[in-house]
Structure formats: C-alpha cells, structure tokens
Amino acid sequence: MRYVSTRDASLKISAAEAIARGLSPDGGLFVPETLPQVSAEMLRSLVSMDYSQRAAAIMALFLEDYTAEELKAYTEAAYSKERFGDEPAPLHKVNDNTAYLELWHGPTCAFKDMALQVMPHLLRAALVKTGEKKQVCILVATSGDTGKAALEGFRDVEGTKIFVFYPSDGVSDVQKLQMRTQQGGNVGVCAVRGNFDDAQSGVKAIFGDEAMRGKLADAGYFFSSANSINWGRLLPQVVYYFSAYCDAVEQGMLSFGEALDFCVPTGNFGDILAGWIAKKCGLPVDKLICASNTNKVLTDFFRSGTYDRMRPFHTTMSPSMDILISSNLERLLYMATGDDKQVKDWMTQLTDKGSYSIPSKLLKTLQADFAFGWCSEEDTSREIGERYAAGYLMDTHTAVASRVLADYRAESGDKKPAVVLSTASPYKFCDHVLRAIGAGAEGSGTQLIETLSEITGTPVPRPLAGLDKREVRFDQVVEKTEMPSAVLGMLGIG
C-alpha cells in the first residue's frame, strides 16, 4: 500500500516514509492510496484477542513495510499492563444501548496516550527503514495534554530527544506539575512567558529557522513534531473503534454484524476521522456523531457545507476541543473526493480568506456518514451532574459528546446502540467536575484531586497519585525570543 499527499496525489511513498516525513513538502497530509478491507472473518478473529494483538493486526493492514514481529513488539511494549493497567481501552456500558469507551487509562490519563505510546516506536523504525542517520529532535508546543503524553511516549526511546514548551499562563496546575516532574534521560520541559499562541509560534519559528536547522544537523539531529498530522499518530486510533465494536458484541449490546454509532468529542478531527476510516474498512458503523463545544466550526460545516474559521475563539472547560482549524478534515475531504487539486484549492482559500465551501452533493455524501451537534458550557456542566447522579463520573470533554448523543437521539429517533468516546479522566479537570456535581472547588488543582476522590469515592488514577510530592526536574521559564537558545542548551550544543 502506498501513501499519497492530500495536495498532490502523484507523490506516492511508503508507510515508513510517510511516518518519517510527517508532513508532505506541498503542505498536504499523507493518506493511504486505498483502504484495506477487513472481512467479517477477520473481525470475528479480533474478538478473542487482547488489545495489543488487535492493534498489531489492524495496523499491519496499513503498514506493509513493517514486519508482524515488529508490530507485535511495539504494541506489547506500548499497551503493557504497567502502562495501561489490565485493559487499555475498556468499554463501560451504562445501559442496554449506551457505553463509554474509556481511552484514558494510559500514563497521562488522556486519550492522546493511545497513539503517543506506540507512535515513537513507529517513528524510530521508520527512520531506520528510510536510512535516516540523524537522531530526531521532537519539539512540541502544548496547551496541556499533548505535551505530557508526548513526553511519556518518547521518554527513553533510543535515537530521540523531546522538548516541550508550555505557556506560563494557560495550562492547569495538574498539567503543569505533570510536565515539570517528567522522568527520562532524553526529555526537556520549559515554560514560555505568554499564552499558547506564543509557545506555538515560537516552535514554528524554530522549525522554519535555517540557521537552527544547520546547527542541529552539524550535531547529528533533525527537527520533527508529534502532532496528529503524522500518520503514525492517526493510525493507532483506528484500532480502538474495532476494539470497541468487539467488546460491544461481547457485552451483548448488539449481535455480530449489526451497526453501531460512535459519538466523538472533536477538536482537530483526528479521533473521529480514525472512526470514519474504520467504517470505510468495513467495520459495521452507521453514524459518526461529531460533537463540538462552543467553538462549533465543525457543526456549522456539516450543516451548511461552509467551513468558516473567521469567528470569535472561546476558551471553554473542554480546552482540548478549543480549535478553529481542524487539520485532519483535509484528510476526509481528500479521501471522500480523491481530488487533490480541489483540496489544495480549498486549503488555500482557508488560509487566504478564512473559509471555503464544498458542493452540496459532497455535503450529502458526508452527511450520510456524519451526524453533528454542539454543547454549551452550561449544558456540559449539567450533563456531568446528571450522569454522575445516574452513576457515572465523566470529564468535561466526554460530557460534550454525551450530551450531543442525547440530543441527536432525541431529534433523529435513532435507537441504535452507541458508544461515546471518553477522552480524559475526570481527575484532569477536577475543578469543573467538582462544581458540576455540586461540590465546592476551593484550593489548588493538585489538592482538588484528593477532594474529588473523597467526594465521589472513586480512586485517584495511579499516574496522578502523589503528584505534588514528586521532585520538580524542570523549572526553567524563558521569553519567546529565548526559545532557540533553550533548545540548543538542552541539547548541549551552541
């Protein structure tokens, strides 16, 4: 199977090259030229497998230049008991036709772990397979979850270094302490004075700085990123849709072969796109329901066919969905049309004038696969409170999707079994969760962890327990202009 760029389909490369390069030189994203088909027989065989076996089997269909032994080794290391507990992605059924797919049992309590635990292995092997001699230096600007998950994923992976910049104002107390206490011999963490945009534009400037690239090359390194534009980060997410389907059958929510809906709290459109890919590979999925918070650019797109990023940006209690440019939508548009010239034109319009519109025929095709909706801040809180009263505690992102599913069912009359993707532990957003269940939220974020546990009688997730007693290893704070020298300093060059 070859991979092509969404903006130039004549560029055909191997899976390892797609993962090693990350982004295509034309600015496009890599996608498989054709999708593999999963037969009913193969799907049935997945039911009796554990999560790492399911992951190796599904990923093998897309990664022809990786051996079965390699994939087995990576998925066993990534989804080990030590890192994810007994079940990496358990399906928590709350009634006959609704379940929550908990994707936050990994080392940082966020669903980003599902991909970022295995992606470093795929990348490291890709560099060997493509003959890259230099070591990779990963730079990440984070608004919270991605930075910590990337640090844990790349920690002590041979041939890699990783540096994370976070805004001094803009990440939660818990997220900050998670990063400042990071372990590992190849990691660095640094605060940047300012907000997320300052950190992100600082990292982009370093990527584009030829003198910096030269200095790194002389020392035997090159820059790369760990965000969801890399195919190696998207592919592992396809796996849990198959896994959830198998578990839903096992738990008696539906018979083998019957269709299931998935409702996904969406930001950059990586997670839900993975579900659409699973459907197109033959998984019996009916609707993928795209759930947004107040930044409802995708709801408007799926309703009207116009993507318009020229709108106010809202800071919400589900910050990982506060996004106005959902990068992975480009992959959907290409895979649904096969028209690289058209996709390139839409993306140019998005950059130049801030919007583009797709034809109504294409919109209808997309609406056959996607339902959509959004949830206000008030309704997000109310959903957490109501679901907690009914016996299930959830975080703010999951609550957005939970509520959108309820609205969708009420409007459409769809009674099919559905799975809500649960993307973060409620312990990562203790203050909002405590207020939503009617409890006080006084004190620092790290103190509230204990409070939430006492009030709800749920255990503190292991990765967050005793966080405030761990040794702080990284307390450097720099100005944006000092970020390049911070990188060189951490690498011990320049």
Tokens 């959903």: give the residue. 383
Residue 321 or 449: which CB sits closer to ligand PLP? 321
Residue 147 or 484: which CB sits closer to ligand PLP? 147
Q: Is 424 one of the binding residues for ligand PLP (CB under 6 A)?
A: yes
Helix, strand, coil percentages, rounded to 5, for the chain: 50, 15, 35
Q: Is 266 one of the binding residues for ligand PLP (CB under 6 A)?
A: yes
Structure tokens at 448: 């509230």
- Give the interface segment with ligand PLP, choosing from 113-121, 259-267, 303-311, 377-385 (CB under 6 A): 259-267
- Rounded to whole angstroms, the Cα distance separating 157 from 417 reads 40
Residue 320 or 380: which CB sits closer to ligand PLP? 320
Residues 216-235: x/- map of binding to ligand PLP (CB under 6 A)? ------------x-------
- Rounded to whole angstroms, the Cα distance separating 71 from 118 reads 9
Q: Where are the beta strands (DSSP E) in 230-359?
A: 260-265, 285-292, 306-308, 355-357
Residue 400 or 483: which CB sits closer to ligand PLP? 400
Binder among 232, 267, 445, 461 for ligand PLP (CB under 6 A): 267
- Give the interface segment with ligand PLP, choosing from 10-18, 22-30, 177-185, 264-272 (CB under 6 A): 264-272
> What does DSSP say about strands 477-478 and 418-422: parallel, antiparallel, or unpaired?
unpaired
- Rounded to whole angstroms, the Cα distance separating 351 from 359 reads 19
The count of C-alpha atoms lying within 13 angstroms of the C-alpha of 67, restricted to the half-sphere facing its C-beta, is 4
Tokens 């060189």: give the residue. 488
The minimum distance between CB 292 and ligand PLP, in angstroms, equals 10
Q: Is 270 one of the binding residues for ligand PLP (CB under 6 A)?
A: yes
Tokens 């509230």: give the residue. 448
Residue 5 or 292: which CB sits closer to ligand PLP? 292
Residue 175 contacts by C-beta under 8 Å, 6 or more apart in sequence?
144, 145, 147, 148, 166, 428
What are the beta bridge partners of residue 191?
A: 166, 477
Q: Is 145 one of the binding residues for ligand PLP (CB under 6 A)?
A: yes
Q: Is 112 one of the binding residues for ligand PLP (CB under 6 A)?
A: yes
Binder among 18, 110, 332, 419 for ligand PLP (CB under 6 A): 110
- Give the interface segment with ligand PLP, choosing from 30-38, 75-83, 262-270, 377-385 (CB under 6 A): 262-270
DSSP H or E stretch at residue 214: helix 210-218
Told to judge if 112 belongs to the known catalytic residues of this protein, a careful annotator would answer yes
> What does DSSP say about strands 91-95 and 260-265: parallel, antiparallel, or unpaired?
unpaired
- Torsion, CA 79, CA 80, CA 84, CA 90, rounded to 10: 60
Binder among 173, 271, 379, 383 for ligand PLP (CB under 6 A): 271
- Rounded to whole angstroms, the Cα distance separating 418 from 429 reads 25
Q: Is 425 one of the binding residues for ligand PLP (CB under 6 A)?
A: no
The minimum distance between CB 289 and ligand PLP, in angstroms, equals 13
3-state SS class at 469: helix
The minimum distance between CB 386 and ligand PLP, in angstroms, equals 20
Residue 237 or 243: which CB sits closer to ligand PLP? 237
Residue in 72, 81, 112, 344 annotated catalytic: 112
Known catalytic residues? 112
Residue numbers of the site for ligand PLP (CB under 6 A)? Answer: 110-112, 145, 228, 265-271, 320-321, 397, 423-424
